[in-house]
Structure formats: C-alpha cells, structure tokens
Structure 1
C-alpha cells in the first residue's frame, strides 16, 4: 500500500467500521466514528510503517486499486501463533468476482511467510456477504457473541 492509498484507506476504513458500530452497537454515528478513528490511531501509530501490521492493496491488471486488506501479525487478544484480519474491503463495483477471496489468500500467504500458523477475524453477524466470503475461504466460527435488545 502506498502513502496515497493509505490516506484513503484510513478514512474509508474508519467510516465503514463506524457505520457498522452505529448500526449494531448502539453508538451514535458521531461516537462510532470517533471510536473507529481512535482505534485506528492506536493500532497504527506509525501509519503504514507500524511494525507487525500488514496493509495490502488489491490492484487490477490495469493498475486500478479496488480494495485493501489490513492484517496484524499478532492477535489483539494475544492468541498465540495467530494473525488477525482487521479489515478487508473490495470496491462495490468489483465485488462478487473473487477479488476478496484472492486478497484473503494473498494475505494468508504473507502471514504464513512470517511464520504465523493461523489467522482470525471478526465479522458483524448481519454481514451475510462477508460471512459467505469467509466461509468459502475456509474460515470457521470459533467464538460467537450474541445480543438481545431489551427496549426502553
């Protein structure tokens, strides 16, 4: 990922995560965006040069960037020998063509080349498209968080 791509990635990734937080976590859009930006700043204090973080860009044959993958070589909860997918995104017009699966596979190859044996991720429960991608790529559910809204 180039510096220019990183600038676009950081704002787009925060916005997408904030939208999910607001939709599923009960935060206002403003609070969700603040949380997303703060989390990104904490995880990437040196930007794309942050040690242990991998930022890959999906690029078409013509050079057009159409997506990204953000991986950490260590797991945020300390799971041994396990990397973590923080974010993956393919541009709307390019989804469904196998690019997400190819980008995941490329990221897994990079993780493996660093000697890490597994990779995990979190996915929002209502994101059927992402769940389908991860399942078809060989990911399985290892934990599950559930919620019931109780009303006022």
Structure 2
C-alpha cells in the first residue's frame, strides 16, 4: 500500500490553499443548487475565514499537507477538532483532496488514513464529514473505509 504522512501546511501552502478551496467549494455549492453563482467564491472565503480566524494558528484546527515517502506533496486536508454541531469527541473533516495528477493510485485512502491517525492523536474518538452526492468516488472511498451514513439529504428536480 502507498504510504502517506501528514504535516502542517506552510504559510505559503496555506495562502494558495485558501484560494483553491474557496473556488472549489463555491463550484460544489453552485452545482448542488445551494448557492447562486454571483458572489459564491467570496461567500466561501467568508465562511472559511470565520472557521479559521487566525489562519494556520487557529486553535483546534488541523490544516495538513499529505506527503509521500519521498516528501513530495500528494494532497491536503482540513480537520476541525471541535464538531460544528458540538458533538463531543467527534472531529469534522472539512476538506480532503489528492492532487489531481496523483489520483488513481491509492493515495486517497492512504491520505485519509494518515488524517484519521493525526485526528486520533489529537484526541478525537470519531471523524465525521459531508460529501456532495455527485462525488461518487469519494462516497465509495468513505464507505469502504468504514464510514457510515449518519444523516442523508436528498433532492429531486421537478
């Protein structure tokens, strides 16, 4: 199996990630029909700034870079050690992604396992996440990694 470890993002990585994650999150919210296109990226930036008011120094947040055995970046992850709805002991995975050019080689599972271990080491007893319904690859990865559906929201276009 491919080995991935995680480390804290550098300030330069964090700055680049802030732009990327806001753009990607806005696209997902628009595609899900939850947000209007106009102002979506700024809305995503504002939400992230609220969750990370001190950037990398925000307490109880893990903002991580996944690296392979050669120390090369393979992905990223963001975990809040305090669940957004206050569930005791449960951390929340806000973001995880393997670099596009490195996908399809088992790095997603390895990155997820490294993130889970870092979260466990930080004191959490469980990790929860949301996944957009159209992201079938991620849904399959989470199911095969032992994640159970806790709640489910469904929609039908009329």
In the superposition, the TM-score normalised over structure 1's length comes to 0.92
In 1: Cα distance, 2:130 partner to 2:83 partner = 11
Going by fraction, where is helix more abundant, 1 or 2? Answer: 1
- Partner of 2:116, secondary structure, is helix
1:143 partnered with 2:151: yes
| Counterpart in the other structure of 1:5 | 13
| Count of matched residue positions in the alignment of Structure 1 and Structure 2 | 150
Gaps of 5+ in 1: none
Distance 1:135 1:63, change over 3 A: same
| Counterpart in the other structure of 1:73 | 81
Cα shift at 1:26: 4.3
In 2: Cα distance, 1:62 partner to 1:107 partner = 18
Cα shift at 1:6: 0.5
The 8 Å contact of residues 58 and 99 in structure 1, kept in 2 or not, is answered as no
Judge which range, 106-115 or 84-93, deviates more: 106-115
- Give me the CA root mean square deviation: 1.4
The 8 Å contact of residues 57 and 65 in structure 1, kept in 2 or not, is answered as yes
In the superposition, the TM-score normalised over structure 2's length comes to 0.89
In 1: Cα distance, 2:33 partner to 2:58 partner = 28
In 1: Cα distance, 2:108 partner to 2:38 partner = 29
| Counterpart in the other structure of 2:25 | 17
